[in-house]
Amino acid sequence: MDDPVDEWIMDQDEEGKKMWFNPKYGMSSYLSQNQNAKMIQKCVKAHQAAALGSPTLGEMIRAIKFQREAAERYAEFPDKLSSVVNYALLQHTHEFDLDLAKMLYQDAMIMSPENPVLLRAYGLFRMMSCEVPREQTVEKCNEMFRSAYIRDQEGEKFHICQDAFFHFSVVQMPQHRLALLNYALVNQCIENKYELADRLYRMALRFAPNDKLVNRNYADFQEQQLPGGMYFKEEIGPNGTVEQRSEVHEEKEEWGEWIIKMDKQVKDPRFKKFWFNKLTNKTRWIPPNWDEVWRNRVKRSVEIRQLGNFKEWYDQKLDLTFYQDVEFEKAQDAEKGIGLGLGVFVEGGEQEEKEEAGEVEFMIVNPFGDDDE
């Protein structure tokens, strides 16, 4: 018999309700192909918009009011600090007139150089516009952010500016490179949301891959995520796009679920290698906490039997057998309060064959080192 045709055929269920049926795969659905396609498109759009967020009705009304009144208030009160700052924010985040925005920010700094809202906004502008010399500019901007934090730790007033100008800018212009860049810097420098900032940078590069401002800011951000950098966090490594295009460089049974991957497309060799967790899909730049890895591995594994001072475990998630030195862990607990454990990792079945032949040999190996002991 010929294989069934791979197509959706309109049919009826037992109650006479309209449905579609695919005879090749035996699948059925009460939704048409167009309805299913719309649902998938809606999910994709929601995923893409998740990084930008959705403002509330009150935030939208307030943002539109700020934008409409900014130019009028500045024309009416050019010597008032709030008028100058709001008009500078409008040029910075919506009109993208960087020369005018810089002039307005500098005028406002003369009026009130210690204002926390102004310090944060002007610091973000200087970061975005890549003022030269770059290194000194970044240092001064970070000092401005620290000064603003000392004077206003909660940042309540700046959050109003953030919602009305920086956030609403990407809501109105989700494909504008500078709008995405500004919001990425807010999450990087103010909110400390580095994963979201990374995603916003990549969105900006998708629409403007050769933009100098976006590329320079993203390169500096990535550099500061390395060990010793300002934005370094042990649990955060390269983004998912980099991980997917990378190849396995090195893996060892004693590393458990962790492997080293290599990105051959990377521009900076410092970002070439990174650690990757096969179970959680997390990445990091430095080696994981091996004590914690070992404890979690023992916890999730099934104990098979005890052989003298050793316990035999089976790791179901990695499909691997390993041995735990119980006496050593007791000694470790007595000294440090944390049991590391030394063991030998063997493929399933190999150890049993040696036992049956009377050739059992235990090789004590540090599971997280390179040298046998």
In tens, the pLDDT along 246-286 reads 999 999 988 999 999 999 988 888 889 999 999 999 999 99
What is the band of 343 on the pLDDT scale with cuts at 50, 70, 90?
very low
Residues 170 and 62 in one domain: yes
What is the band of 14 on the pLDDT scale with cuts at 50, 70, 90?
confident
Looking at residue 302, what is its pLDDT? 93
256 belongs to a structural domain = yes
CB 216 within 8 A of CB 134: yes
Torsion sign, CA atoms 342, 346, 352, 358:
negative
Residues 134 and 159 in one domain: yes
Which two tokens mark 127?
Answer: 């970061």
367 belongs to a structural domain = no
Residues 89 and 214 in one domain: yes
154 belongs to a structural domain = yes
Looking at residue 360, what is its pLDDT? 41
Residues 157 and 112 in one domain: yes
309 belongs to a structural domain = yes
Residues 325 and 277 in one domain: no
341 belongs to a structural domain = yes
More confident position, 2 or 358: 2
Domain that holds residue 24: 9-49
Domain count, the chain: 4
Give the tens place of pLDDT for each residue, 87-116: 999 999 999 999 999 999 999 999 999 999
Residues 62 and 192 in one domain: yes
pTM of the entire predicted model: 0.72
Which whole number is the average pLDDT over 223-236? 87
More confident position, 288 or 14: 288
2 belongs to a structural domain = no
Residues 280 and 306 in one domain: no
Give the tens place of pLDDT for each residue, 160-208: 999 999 999 999 999 999 999 999 999 999 999 999 999 999 999 999 9
CB 197 within 8 A of CB 188: yes
Residues 280 and 295 in one domain: no
4 belongs to a structural domain = no
Residues 25 and 94 in one domain: no
Domain finish residue from 223, 256, 271: 223
Domain finish residue from 171, 198, 223: 223
Q: Are strands 27-29 and 247-250 parallel, antiparallel or unpaired?
A: unpaired
In this predicted structure, the answer to whether residue 230 has a pLDDT above a threshold of 60 is: yes
Looking at residue 337, what is its pLDDT? 56
User: What is the average pLDDT value for the chain, to the nearest integer?
Assistant: 86
246 belongs to a structural domain = yes
Which whole number is the average pLDDT over 307-336? 85
CB 166 within 8 A of CB 186: yes
Residues 316 and 199 in one domain: no
In this predicted structure, the answer to whether residue 373 has a pLDDT above a threshold of 80 is: no
What are 260's strand-pairing partners?
A: 250, 275
Q: Give which of 236, 260, 196 is closest to 49, Cα–Cα.
A: 196
In this predicted structure, the answer to whether residue 348 has a pLDDT above a threshold of 60 is: no
In this predicted structure, the answer to whether residue 344 has a pLDDT above a threshold of 80 is: no
- The CATH number of whichever domain residue 86 belongs to comes to 1.25.40
Residues 204 and 63 in one domain: yes
Looking at residue 81, what is its pLDDT? 95
Which whole number is the average pLDDT over 301-330? 88
Q: Give which of 55, 116, 37 is closest to 81, Cα–Cα.
A: 116
Domain finish residue from 223, 258, 275: 223
Residues 27 and 89 in one domain: no
Percent of the chain's residues with pLDDT above 90: 56
Q: Give which of 87, 66, 63, 64 is closest to 75, Cα–Cα.
A: 87
